[in-house]
Structures are given as C-alpha cells and as structure tokens.
Structure 1
Amino acid sequence: MPRYYKVSRKERSKERNYLCRVKKRPNPKKTPRETLNTSSASASKIKVSTAKNVPTDPEKHYRIFYFLSVFSSISTLVKCVECGEKVNFTCTGKEGLGFDIQVTCAKCNPRYVPSSTKIGRTFETNSRFVFVMRILGLGLAGCNKFCGLMDLAKNFVTKTTYSDYIHRIVTKVKETAENFFSFAAEEEKKLTKKYENKDEITASGDGTWQKQGFNSLYGKKKLTPIEFEEWFEELVSSGQCTANHSGASGNMKVNAVIEMFKRSVEKHNVKIGNYVGDGDSKTYGNLIKAKPYGDDLIVAKKECVGHVQKRMGTRLRDLVNSHVEKVPIKTGKNAGKKRRVKTLGGKGKLTAITIDNLSRYYGSAIRNNCDSVQKMKDAIWSTFFRQRSSSSKR
C-alpha cells in the first residue's frame, strides 16, 4: 500500500496534489448524430435552400474621412492635366451627407465631382443613411443628432427633403417586397407540385396588433406558405385617414384573411387549398362563407399542433383551478375559519410540472403518429398512464 506524505498548503497549490479527489475523467468526444430517415417529406422540404445570391461589388464602399487633411495632401501631389498648374479642392453644394468637390486651378474653369453616386438629383449616401436610421428606429431628429455628434453637418436635411427621401424609400421597399412575395409564391407552387403533385398550396395565417385588446387602430395579417418559409402576402390595417378596414378591431384578422385569399390568384396566380389556423374558428368559419374561389374549391382547415398542445395545458390548468374546496383551519390564530384548497393540485397530483409534461408529450404523440389515428391514440394514452403510474404500481 503506497504511503502518503503530508504536504503544506503552498506546495499543494503548486503541484495540485489533492489526496481526497479522484482524477477527473475527460469528457467523451461528441459524435455527430445520425439523421433519421422519415416517411414524411416535410423535413426535406424545409431543408431546401432558397437563398438568393445578391451580387456585390468589392470596389464599391463608403468611408468617412477628414476633408481638409485628405485633400490638402492630395493637392500637393497632383497637377491640372490641361495647364499643369496647382489644383485646389473645395467642398460645395452640400446636401445632407452628400456634397460636390470643386476642382479649381489658376487657368481652367472649375470642375465638379459628386461625393457619391446620384439617383436623379439626390445623393445615394443620403438615401442609404435615411434607410439605415429608419431600420434602427430613428427619424430626422436622430439623423440630426448623429450628424452633429460626428461633426458631419449642423442639421441633416430639412423636413420637406426628409419626407421626399422617405416617400422614395417606401416606394422602392414596396417594389422589392412584391418581388420577394412573387418569388415565394412561385417557389411554393413548385415544391407543392413536386412533393404532393397538386396545384393548391397550404398556408398558415397569423395576425398582430399594436396593442392588446379589441380597440387597436393598427393591425397586420400575414400568410406564410408551409413548404417555403417566406411571406408571400401581407395586409396592413390602419385606423388613420388611410384606413382600409371599417368595423370592429376583432374583425381585422378575419377580413384580412378573406381579402388575401380572394386576390391570391390575381397577384400570384395560386390558390390556397389548405389553411392552417391558430385555433381561431371564427376566421375559418367566415372564410368558408365568403367562398374566395367560388364553388370550385372549398378551403380545408388543418389544425396547428402547437395550438392543440397549448389547449391541452390550458384546459388542465382550468380544471385544477375549478376544483376547489373550503377546508376548516384547525390550529393557529385563524382556527375555525376556512381556506380554499385545490383538490386536484399539489404533491402527487396535477402539479405545474406534470401539466407541462402531459402537454409536451401530447404534442409529441400527435406529431410522431400523424399517419395513423390508432397509433396516435395509443401514444397519447401511454403518456397518460406513464405519468399516472408510480414505482409501487409498476
């Protein structure tokens, strides 16, 4: 048996000799998981790469520099190509971040070089700057503050000029969005034809509002194809002077879905045969009554597994909260009074963790057995009995 010698704390800290600790084993190397082959084609559809390559020019870029220092140095190195005299550079025609460089010499007429490419009469730099600041959530005040802190200009542009930039940007953004929506619809039709051999596509719909409740003046509704993860239709409802919805705020979503279904053929030459809702039966019921494609095609509804799973958890929690009994208090200063006790909740019953597990297993059973109702039923009940059982009952 080996002998162990007592060492000081200083020596132990240097050598890291811990007599009471077993040498830690290194973690095993992680191996990549093998991909499981499934009979469903949904996974392969989602993995399809649909990214569009945007051409880039490595020679085109923007830089911030100190005008006086840079062009003072350049003027000492160059001469006029016509008369050979010394050349001077002056900044003129300022508009926002754009300006004209005036090139003058002793004998020739002045010439002007724009600091950036011009789109019509405006500088491209200003359009880019306004667009980026809007993406960051800043308006004209933010532009003025940035230019002031960077010593670029006292003020960026006037309110009128800024509004003109915004209108131009909105027009271009709408054109780009329509191109992407059309591209998404075309890709969706190709994938649906390839994998399901039919022309009608499947789309899911969802909406959002500026604030909670049913009195919001702003709402937005989108349709998302299932096979191709892009928005190909979007409708914005506004409560200002440009309002495109009249009636209750709760009907914004319903009316928007109906309108997008009706114009899908006109805008994208495609029909939506299946609608994946978010559990709101009101939308689908009104969609069936509207008959967006006439009697030729009746839109079918597909349930969202996520919302079905969520409803399971919601109903279990409501069940726990509804089963309450008043039990008398036996001891303490409140003896004789009654307190509310949840009969289905507590240790060994429907706790929050148990409800979450049941909901999660319920959703997994539906997803993994969507091809067979009997298998789905068996999987759902097996999760129930497994949660219900204990070590003493097994």
Structure 2
Amino acid sequence: MRLLGVGYEGLMDMGHGFALNTYDTILENIHSASSAVFDTVLSIAVNQEKEILQEQGKAENEFTISGGGTCKKRGFSSLFGVSTLITKYTVKVVDSCVMNSFCAGYNLLENKKNSDPVGYAGWLAGSEENCTANHTGISGKMEIDAVVKMVSRSVNKHQVRYTTYIGDGDSKTFKGILKAEPYGKDVVKKECVGLVEKRMGTRLRNAKKSNKAIGGKGAGKLTDKLIGEMTKYYGLAIRRHPESIEEIRKDIWATFYHKISTDSNPQHQNCPAGESIWCKWRRAEFLGKAEQFKHDKPPLSEAV
C-alpha cells in the first residue's frame, strides 16, 4: 500500500493499531530493503553492459546512455520528479534520481513554529540532515539537474564514464552535462533516431493541417496512412546508414520519388537494387520483368 502512495491515514484500519512513530520506523525498514535491492539490480545491469562492450572489443568502462524524466504532475508545476539513465545495449536502468522541491518535515514544523518553538529550533539545527528537499528553482529544470547529478557520480557509483549521451532533441540537458564537465572533457551527443522519426511525422501532420488542399482521400493526397509510411521510411533510411550522410540522403529522396511515381512516369532511379529490396518496380527490373510490371506501391511491411 505504501508503494502505491497511500500514507498512514489511508492504510484502511491497519494504521489505527500502532502509533505514527512505529509507522515511520516501518517505512525506514521498507526503504532500506528496497534501496538494497535496487542497488543490486543496478550493479547487475552495469556488469551486463560491460560484458557486451568487452565482447565487441570496446572500452568496457565507457558507456553510451540515454536519460529521461517524469513528474508527478503534467507541465512544470510538480514538486517531485524522477529521472533515470539507461544504457545502449542492455537498455536497462543503471541509475535513477529523485528530485524534490518540497520537504514534508519542514512544512509540518513550520506550521508548529509558534506552538513548539523548541522542536522547531531542534529541527532547524539539523536541517541539512533532516531536509528531504534537494532541488531549488523551476520544475522544468528537475530533469536537467538529475541527469547532470547522475552523470557526475558515475565513476564513484559504477566505476564507468558516460562518454556518449543519446538525446531526445532537447539540448538543455546536454548543455548541462557539458557545463558540469564530469570527466574533464566533452561528452559526445547523438540524436535518438526514434524521436527524429517522430518529428518527421509531426511536421507532415502539421503540413497537412495548414494546407487543406494536400489532405483528404484519394490518389496523390497526404493521408494519415501515407504519413505513417513516410515517417517509417524516413527512420529506416537513417538506421540503415548510420555512418553515411550521403546514403541517408539518397534513401530519403528515394522514398520521395518512389511515392510520386506513376505507371506513365516511374521514378525509381534512386530505389536500391537487388533481390531483397523493398521497391517492387526495381525488383522486377532486376529480374528482367520491368516491361510487364504495373506500378504498385509496396506495403509498409515489405519496407520493414
């Protein structure tokens, strides 16, 4: 029940059988046990990533990671935020950080400042140890501060360095890492292909919304189905040629010309050739049957 966020007053009738101090002691035990298990799981994930890097002949103490965060509330008004880091190959969490702009203890004693001045003074004397708040400023900065904190402690926590950061298009987090200089040199940033692909779909939908003439149903229209296919092809072009910008550009234009081709004006010159290609027209051409082939747009499953 506690892991579901239910407090002392919400524990049905269970909370009435023991004092609040006893409940707090139970929570401390739960927290200690959960933290121990969590640290063990993180250690296992780190070792698995090291093994994969070693098998590939890469430095086992240099990780490629990606970070993300979530808040208790939508927007930028939350007092609590949780951020995690995952590795490239195992795709498992290797660190997590909770950012908190609110301290329940301070808030409780602040209300009793006048009625219990001795207790209030005692709490303030040890406020650095007792206070649970670890973030100041706007909620939108929680993820940035959390990721920077986790990257900065990677050597002490796991004896590894996060030398490459896969970003989600938001450069603020990466700028925060560079400013912190956790390893005395720059961390390399790479863009997440999935999010780049997603942005293509968003822009196509925005283009359709702002230009009513290109939308609708029928041949030559920018339908939702076509947007889905174009988005997927765009991502595939990047994934197939991660080391060559020219090949990426060629595949993207191949998709464009392939989609505007007709029986009377086929434009498959940029489509890749070979027996396992996604373009049916080029496949027929490769097999010597192009003259008998009617223009047909391949289903998305073939491209994938």
> Could you tell me the TM-score, scaled by structure 1's length?
0.55
| 1:249 and 2:144 are equivalent in the alignment | no
Tell me, in whole angstroms, the C-alpha distance in 2 between the residues paired with 1:259 and 1:239.
16
Cα pair 1:189 1:270 within 8 Å, conserved: no
| 1:197 and 2:58 are equivalent in the alignment | yes
From 29, 32, 47, the counterpart of 1:171: 32
SS at 2:214 equivalent = coil
Q: Shift of residue 313 of structure 1?
A: 0.9
From 134, 142, 159, the counterpart of 2:2: 134
Q: What's the CA shift string for 1:90-138, capped at 9, x where partnerless? A: xxxxxxxxxxxxxxxxxxxxxxxxxxxxxxxxxxxxxxxxxxx334665
SS at 2:55 equivalent = helix
| 1:384 and 2:256 are equivalent in the alignment | yes
Q: Shift of residue 391 of structure 1?
A: 4.2
Q: Shift of residue 201 of structure 1?
A: 0.9
Q: Shift of residue 374 of structure 1?
A: 3.1
Q: Shift of residue 156 of structure 1?
A: 5.3
Change (3 A) 1:211 1:391: farther
Tell me, in whole angstroms, the C-alpha distance in 1 between the residues paired with 2:54 and 2:252.
33
SS at 2:92 equivalent = coil
In the other structure, the counterpart of 1:44 is none
In the other structure, the counterpart of 2:223 is 351
In the other structure, the counterpart of 2:265 is 393
Tell me, in whole angstroms, the C-alpha distance in 2 between the residues paired with 1:263 and 1:365.
36
Q: Shift of residue 270 of structure 1?
A: 0.6
| 1:287 and 2:177 are equivalent in the alignment | yes
Q: Which has the higher contact order (CA 8 A, sep 6+)?
A: 2
Q: What's the CA shift string for 1:319-354, capped at 9, x where partnerless? A: 23333xxxxxxxxxxxxxxxxxx1332233222221
Tell me, in whole angstroms, the C-alpha distance in 2 between the residues paired with 1:155 and 1:250.
39
SS at 2:66 equivalent = strand
Tell me, in whole angstroms, the C-alpha distance in 1 between the residues paired with 2:5 and 2:145.
30
In the other structure, the counterpart of 1:364 is 236
In the other structure, the counterpart of 1:82 is none
Runs of 5+ unmatched residues, structure 1: 1-132, 148-153, 324-341
Task: Report the structure, 1 or 2, having the larger helix content.
Answer: 2
SS at 1:232 equivalent = strand
Q: Shift of residue 369 of structure 1?
A: 2.6
SS at 1:205 equivalent = strand
Where does 1:72-91 land on structure 2 (aligned, <5 Å)? none
Read off the aligned partner of 1:311 and give its amino acid letter: R
Cα pair 1:206 1:277 within 8 Å, conserved: no
Q: Shift of residue 232 of structure 1?
A: 1.4
Change (3 A) 1:178 1:356: same
In the other structure, the counterpart of 1:321 is 209
Q: Shift of residue 279 of structure 1?
A: 1.4
From 299, 304, 308, the counterpart of 2:187: 299
Tell me, in whole angstroms, the C-alpha distance in 2 between the residues paired with 1:294 and 1:357.
44
| 1:260 and 2:147 are equivalent in the alignment | no
Runs of 5+ unmatched residues, structure 2: 104-131, 267-304
Q: Shift of residue 206 of structure 1?
A: 0.7
Tell me, in whole angstroms, the C-alpha distance in 2 between the residues paired with 1:285 and 1:299.
10
Q: Shift of residue 289 of structure 1?
A: 2.3
In the other structure, the counterpart of 2:126 is none
Identity of aligned residues (%): 41
Read off the aligned partner of 1:228 and give its amino acid letter: T
Read off the aligned partner of 2:102 and give its amino acid letter: Q
Tell me, in whole angstroms, the C-alpha distance in 2 between the residues paired with 1:207 and 1:156.
38
Tell me, in whole angstroms, the C-alpha distance in 1 between the residues paired with 2:96 and 2:136.
18
Where does 1:87-166 land on structure 2 (aligned, <5 Å)? 133-135=1-3, 144=12, 157-166=18-27
Q: Shift of residue 186 of structure 1?
A: 2.6
Q: Shift of residue 309 of structure 1?
A: 0.2
Read off the aligned partner of 1:373 and give its amino acid letter: I
Q: Shift of residue 183 of structure 1?
A: 2.5
In the other structure, the counterpart of 1:76 is none
| 1:277 and 2:186 are equivalent in the alignment | no
Tell me, in whole angstroms, the C-alpha distance in 1 between the residues paired with 2:100 and 2:21.
24
> Could you tell me the TM-score, scaled by structure 2's length?
0.70
Cα pair 1:223 1:233 within 8 Å, conserved: yes
Cα pair 1:140 1:159 within 8 Å, conserved: yes
